[in-house]
Amino acid sequence: AYTGPTADEILKKRKEFLSPSMFYFYSKPMQYLFDENGRRYLDAFGGIATVCCGHCHPDVVKAIVNQSNSLQHSTILYLNHSIADFAEALASKLPGDLKVVFFTNSGTEANELAMMMARLYTGCNDIISLRNAYHGNAAASMGATAQSNWKFNVVQSGVHHAINPDPYRGLFGSDGEKYAKDVEDLIQFGTSGHVAAFMSEAIQGVGGIVELASGYLPVVYNTIKKVGGLCIADEVQSGFARTGSHFWGFESHGVVPDIVTMAKVGIGNGIPLGAVVTTPKIAEVLTRRSYFNTFGGNPVCTAAGLAVLKVIERENLQENAHAVGSYLKERLNALKAKHEIIGDVRGRGLMLGVELVTDRQLKTPAKVEILQVMEQMKELGVLIGKGGFYGNVFRITPPLCFSKEDADFLVDVMDYAIAKL
Ligand code: PMP
């Protein structure tokens, strides 16, 4: 039974001692998805795709405790096997020459480093990212982020935002090659003709689970390679088996990036950990100066990371994400046929989106209705994410151990909540 402070006590402290910009989705905080009264909630959001093997997975907890008992320290100065073991295991999951790992503490740091390496390697400054993307909140990564909701007044040096290949709301429907032409135009008319990098998610997470139109990435990757740039895949949300069919999101597009960034997606099941993986040739650029990250890849976090990889494999979580995700998507599509307010169902594996609109033709975002449905779903015991530029897309990114029964419960509850509107 829960014996900690009450929800009101926690809220009072948050108001007094934490940044006023910190938000929470629900009016009552949860402890391991049990509220302070011991009521259980089904977590269909996984802390924004951060928890992949399930909350408090005993193997991950054990790895953290064991490593804490033997050594927790900065990453630099002393030899420790934890970082080397995890780097080896992680590199083994990536294709081609992607074999050199740099650890960070977050996705933002990983993308900052990736962009800097691309700039150093190519000698160019220009970077192309996609409109509606989220890549982080430090100077360079906020520049690459392309949603006004998440942008403060940073100097956005050398970033160009290409038309988003969004099959639902985009200008060219699901014709990936037409969108790809915009990247070529940006290079021709907005740069010297050379760029440092193109960076994108395989499925936009914060942007509202937007799958890039099929055929887009292969054409863009070719264009970028032709002008000497590097391709960066931001796998912060779509990596680590979440999309089911593949371990990495980019794989379903049939491309191989030059740099891959990763973080919360369960790389550490909720532990602060991020990584940049690239080729030995590109990694060389960091030997030009001294480079380190004090806690990036520290023993406890990397021990957790290794435990997570083993759990994903032993418990066949990728297969589960594929099977349960496909089933869930089918059921959500059936729900779309029933409720006019569901404008679109999309995504892969256990990274699914349900977009609510008040008018299917005009695609008017159902911003108010989604809040009502979300609150009603919480009342019925299901926690779900929300996002997209207009805040009208349900984001379903649960722990990868989500079962078919969980999927049924989620859809039944959503069905009931929408019917009550
Ligand atoms: N990239 C993507 C695709 C993300 O979704 C996020 C976080 N929402 C980030 C980067 C930044 O990660 P972090 O919050 O760990 O800095």
Q: Where do the domains of the chain lie, and which CATH numbers do they carry?
A: 7-56+316-419 (3.90.1150.10), 58-314 (3.40.640.10)
**pLDDT of the residue at 25:** 55
Cβ of 205 less than 6 Å from ligand 1: yes
Q: From the CB of 305, is ligand 1 less than 6 Å away?
A: no
> In angstroms, what is the span from residue 135 Cα to ligand 1's centroid?
6
Please identify, by atom number, the ligand 1 atom nearest to the C-alpha of residue 201. Answer: 3
From the CB of 395, is ligand 1 less than 6 Å away?
no
What integer pLDDT is reported at residue 37 of this predicted model? 78
At 265 the pLDDT is: 62
CA 204 to chain centre: 7
Distance from residue 94's CA to the centre of ligand 1 (Å): 20
User: Which ligand 1 atom sits closest to the C-alpha of 263?
Assistant: 15
| Residue pLDDT, tens place only, 210-253 | 999 999 999 999 999 999 999 999 999 999 999 999 999 999 99
Q: Atom 12 of ligand 1 has which residue's CA nearest to it?
A: 107
How many whole angstroms separate alpha carbon 198 and alpha carbon 257? 10
CB 63 within 8 A of CB 305: no
The amino acid present at 61, given as its one-letter code, is V
Distance CA 79, CA 129 (A): 38
Answer yes or no: is pLDDT of 269 > 70: yes
CA of 235 to the centre of ligand 1 (A): 9
Please report, in angstroms and rounded to a whole number, the separation of the first and last CA atoms in the chain: 35
Which pLDDT does position 24 carry in this prediction? 59
For residue 236, how far is its CA from the centre of ligand 1 (angstroms)?
6
Q: 108 CB under 6 A from ligand 1?
A: yes
Q: Which atom of ligand 1 lies closest to the CA of 109?
A: 16
pTM of the shown model: 0.93
Question: Could you tell me if 227 and 214 are in contact, meaning their C-beta atoms sit under 8 angstroms apart?
Answer: no
Looking at the predicted structure, is the pLDDT value of residue 54 above 90? no
